Amino acid sequence: MSKRLNYKNALERASRVLKDKRLSQKLVNEAKETLTSRAKVSEKIGQLKNKIAILIRLVKAYTKGTYRDISKKSMLYTVGVLLYFITPMDIIPDFIPVSGFLDDASLLLWLYNHLSTELQQFIAWESKQEEK
């Protein structure tokens, strides 16, 4: 299967998740569980724990409808990367010591850096919500 087809399938799956609150909530829950378990066994994931948690909170706020000041494309990327993160069989299977989580960490770091401006806006919005 070509990379282009896999990318298209990933975007279609991410789009379905964004449209379905039940699937979105399931993704949020699984991403939280995955983060907790992987942060314990992977130093790289542990170092990204706060950044991954922000991505999870963003998806939760977006699917609840409380935060929408982000492009649809950015949300598709975010959901797609989180789906990849929770999937144990990816490019480098996660059961392979050390390197199994490097692809996840690299992709998550790329996404966080790619969306840095939008994520900073989300973080500022979150802070204002906490003040209310």
pLDDT tens per residue across span 41-77: 767 777 788 999 999 999 999 999 999 999 999 999 9
Confidence of residue 3 (pLDDT cuts 50, 70, 90): very low
| CA triple 39-80-117, angle to 5 deg | 80
Tokens linked to 127? 């802070």
How many Å apart are CA 75 and CA 19, to the nearest integer? Answer: 11
Q: Which residues contact 45 (CB under 8 A, 6 or more apart)?
A: 35, 38, 39, 52, 101, 104, 105
Cβ atoms of 17 and 79 closer than 8 Å: yes
Residue 4 above 60 pLDDT? no
- pTM as predicted: 0.81
Instruction: Tell me which amino acid residue 68 is.
Output: R
How many Å apart are CA 132 and CA 120, to the nearest integer? Answer: 19
